[in-house]
Amino acid sequence: MPVTTLTLRRIAPVAVQCCTGIQATYACKCSDIMHFLFEMMLKPGSLPPSCVLIYLVIAAPLTVAYYFPSASPNNYCDLYPNGTEVPNCPNKIAVYAGSLDSSRSVLAFNYNRFPFCSVEDGSASTKYRGLRFFTDKIVKAPINLEYRKQVACNVICEKEMIIPGSDKSKNTDKSKMADLKSSQLLMRAIQLNYQQHWLVDDIPVQLCYKVQVMDQSRSTHCERSFPIGCYVDEKGEQRDFCNSDIGRYTEEKAFYLFNHLDIVITYHPAGDKSEWLSTLPDGAKERNPGRIIDIKVTVSSVNQIVNKAKDQPTCEIIHNAPPLFFKTEEESKAKTVAYSYSVNWMRSDMHWSYRWNKILQPFSDANVLKFTLINNLVVLAFCTLASVVVVKRINCTTRCTLDSQVKKEFAWRKKFEWTLIHGDLFKSPRRKMLVSLCVGQGSQFTCAALLTLCVASFGVLSPANPGAIMLCSVICYVLSAFIAGILSTKVYKAFGGLFWKTNTALTSFLVPGIFYGWYVAMNLIIQLQGGDNSTPFSTLAILLALWLCVSAPLTFAGAYVVARQPNVSPYKQAKDSLADTQPPVPKRQARVKQLIMALAAGVLPLGAIFLHIYFILNNLWFNQVYDAFGLLLVMVVIFIVLTMEEAILFGHFQLRLGITNWHTRVLGTGGLAAFYLFMYIIHFIVKNVSLEDSVSKFIVLSYTLMATFAYFLAMACWSFLPTWLFFKRMYAVVSKDFIHQPLSLEQTEVEGQI
């Protein structure tokens, strides 16, 4: 049987199951199909090239049908009449609370640092190990949710708070010092609009409210966090969420604590045709099984009447009473706060596999990304056309012939005098080790970014897996050290370098050491400021072990592979220099032209990913979901190609100016886009983020410098390598005999007269 027919017969049943959307977590997922396709492609002669397009067309809709392959649904059922749970279909729903953060400060604090209700078992699920591995500490929230159980008003707990006084000398009660510090932290967090992050059934709890748009209409905006309170200053200005109810929060210099949560949970009940019912035990169909689709919350500051009971205290909200607030008085005093919640369950016809559509809806409306893709393709075509024109002109030099007349001879030399610097062009640069180091580390950063984006494009690194993208990026960076060792040693040996071991050691330890030391210093500053979002010591030790035990050996392994190969370097062969035959180029004029070209070259590639950088910054600062990893991967590829083409053009124009020391200049040309990136990030933060303290500003500036430095190395690598290969190819085409043809005595005399 032909391999094509056999392959299609094996794929067809899986494709039918995936496309019908019977289950979102079927055993034969699209990743299995893709794995089978790659396996068939790797076998020599097993997969005809004509079938590759057919298989990709088949796989494309499957990846759309299943976007989050790592997320699995949880089924919930009502209790049996005797109060027991259905096997494999629980009734209780776990709620997890993450660290509290704010867009006005880089410091984050654990949930248990505040005077909130807490539970004894504060362990987190293993699904959130990626977040715990770095900074976020996720604990169980004290709310008890039960499937389809309506709750009018339940009291979570009653907490006694110590309101600090303005006279610090009177805050001397040592027995209540811990409560006093937590209350002070709460008041400071309310002023800075700190947000809570809750997770229920692996999806974030959202806060939705009405906002006014440009056409004076009001639309619903949802965030993946909710505030702990709001503050009204001494002028009566209502800050942050106090504006949601203008007539309610009016007390000056008051801290309003949102102590009541109205939770609305949307679920999809199982139908008679639901295939996943077969996975439940007998009798589960009568217990109304279903899956959670959406969770929304509304916060408010209320006063309640608590009805104490043994099992579960309840409450009654006093609607006419003023909201709960407290002020700073001269002396500290105690105040009891009751935390409560209500739960309302609503049915929905939306299937579980589409529940992330609501969360991703604000970002999916950004059709401008598709427009930028088309625009960047046009720009890429224009730059490619310019590069083709340059190559055509270079090839023309090999077909040009000398005229018998001397004037035409010198006209030709004036036009193509850059072809006379072959000897100087391939001389070894002064900073050969610096150039090879930039190429090696830049290739490592680029490979790590591309591998991470490729994995994310398949949906593995999705919002359903918080923290996975950080783990994947670290692993990809460590594994990319092998590529860094190969390219760094390859370039260094091509320059005629003799100390390749020293070069490899610098590639392994210099730049990673700078980043690691920088990262440790930032963590130390966060710890000294009392923040809880510093990386744990165990994580720092693991990162150090990955660097010293995996990344560094891989770099030396790649360097050893290249060191064993014979060195065929154009730099050793370039001994003749004809630069003396050229007229000297004015240094000031050449520098001005270089600066203008370098500044212009950095703008165009950055425009390819400019909009994506905007959305990524919104994701980092304002918790907006960003999931366009496929488009970002395409944009990054376009960005790299644009950088390569502009570097080639810039190098060619340098030769036209008679400049032979092009190595470091080309590195700076590609990396100059990092300057524009740095300026844009600073502009975004200054315009949209209001950082309150100088420590936060310093940390943000430091991380921005780290990111732009990595960006500089990556683009410097992809500026140097294509330019270097282009020059080698270009001077292989141009005939050396034609370039080095000596001038006759008559021509020399005429040249002296000119």
Residue type, 20: T
Lowest mean pLDDT among 343-357, 419-433, 643-657, 665-679: 419-433
Cβ proximity of 727 and 387 under 8 Å: no
Give the pLDDT band of residue 72 (cuts 50, 70, 90).
confident
Identity of the highest mean pLDDT range in 27-36, 232-241, 363-372:
232-241
Give the pLDDT band of residue 585 (cuts 50, 70, 90).
very low
Question: Dihedral (C-alpha) 18, 19, 23, 26: value to the nearest 10 degrees?
Answer: 0
Phi-psi region of 137 (alpha: psi -120 to 50; beta: other; left: phi over 0): beta
What are the residue boundaries of the structural domains of the chain, listed by start? Answer: 3-65, 92-362, 366-427+585-700+711-754, 431-573
pLDDT > 60? residue 29: no
Give the pLDDT band of residue 132 (cuts 50, 70, 90).
low
- Residue 27 to residue 32: CA distance in whole angstroms: 9
Mean pLDDT of 702-717: 90
Nearest one of 86, 578, 484, 547 to 284, comparing CA atoms: 86
pLDDT in tens, 504-533: 999 999 999 999 999 999 989 988 888 888
Give the pLDDT band of residue 22 (cuts 50, 70, 90).
very low
pLDDT > 80? residue 428: no
Q: Which residue has the higher pLDDT, 2 or 460?
A: 460
pLDDT > 50? residue 584: no
Mean pLDDT of 232-249: 73
pLDDT > 80? residue 37: no
Position 513 scores a pLDDT of 92
pLDDT > 50? residue 36: no
Question: Dihedral (C-alpha) 41, 42, 47, 50: value to the nearest 10 degrees?
Answer: 50
Lowest mean pLDDT among 207-221, 423-437, 455-469: 207-221
In the chain, what percentage of residues exceed pLDDT 90?
A: 10
Give, rounded to a whole angstrom, the gap between the first and last alpha carbons of the chain: 79
pLDDT in tens, 257-267: 888 899 999 99
Position 552 scores a pLDDT of 92
Position 483 scores a pLDDT of 92
Give the pLDDT band of residue 32 (cuts 50, 70, 90).
very low
User: What are the φ and ψ backbone dihedral angles of 306, each rounded to 5 degrees?
Assistant: -85, 125
- Give the Cβ contact number of residue 596 at 10 Å: 10
**Measuring CA to CA, how many Å separate 620 from each of 59, 361, 615?**
32, 18, 9
pLDDT > 90? residue 738: no
Position 537 scores a pLDDT of 86
pLDDT > 70? residue 198: yes
The two structure tokens encoding residue 490? 């390859």
- Rg for the chain, CA atoms, rounded: 33
Mean pLDDT of 480-491: 91
The two structure tokens encoding residue 51? 């079938």
Position 372 scores a pLDDT of 67
- Residue 208 to residue 296: CA distance in whole angstroms: 7
Provide CB contacts within 8 A for 118, sequence distance 6+: 111, 112, 139, 142
pLDDT in tens, 435-483: 889 899 999 999 999 998 888 887 777 666 667 788 888 899 999 999 9
The two structure tokens encoding residue 539? 């994580």
Cβ proximity of 162 and 334 under 8 Å: yes
Mean pLDDT of 56-80: 60
Mean pLDDT of 354-366: 65
Residue type, 109: F
Identity of the highest mean pLDDT range in 159-163, 551-555, 664-668:
551-555
Position 152 scores a pLDDT of 87
Q: Which residue has the higher pLDDT, 414 or 657?
A: 657
- Residue 295 to residue 202: CA distance in whole angstroms: 11
Position 461 scores a pLDDT of 73
Give the pLDDT band of residue 753 (cuts 50, 70, 90).
very low
DSSP conformation letters of 188-203: HHHHTT-EE-EEETTE
- Residue 388 to residue 394: CA distance in whole angstroms: 10
DSSP H helices in 331-431: 356-364, 368-397, 406-415, 422-425
Q: Strand, coil or helix: what is 475?
A: helix
Give the pLDDT band of residue 431 (cuts 50, 70, 90).
confident
pLDDT in tens, 91-124: 889 888 888 888 888 888 888 888 888 776 655 5
Nearest one of 300, 90, 142 to 209, comparing CA atoms: 300
In the chain, what percentage of residues exceed pLDDT 70?
A: 66
- Model confidence, pTM: 0.77
Nearest one of 168, 191, 189, 178 to 332, comparing CA atoms: 168
Beta strands in 177-313 (DSSP E): 195-196, 198-200, 203-204, 206-212, 218-223, 226-227, 229-232, 254-257, 260-269, 290-300, 304-307
Q: Which helix (DSSP H) or strand (DSSP E) does residue 102 occupy?
A: strand 100-102
- Token pair 């080309």: residue: 666
- Residue 90 to residue 79: CA distance in whole angstroms: 8
Position 18 scores a pLDDT of 38
Lowest mean pLDDT among 159-168, 202-211, 574-583: 574-583
pLDDT > 60? residue 284: yes
Give the pLDDT band of residue 1 (cuts 50, 70, 90).
very low
Core vs surface per residue 578-589: b (16+ CB within 10 A) or e: ebeeeeeeeeee
Q: What is the mean pLDDT of the chain?
A: 73
Q: Which residue has the higher pLDDT, 463 or 25?
A: 463
Question: Dihedral (C-alpha) 691, 696, 701, 703: value to the nearest 10 degrees?
Answer: -120
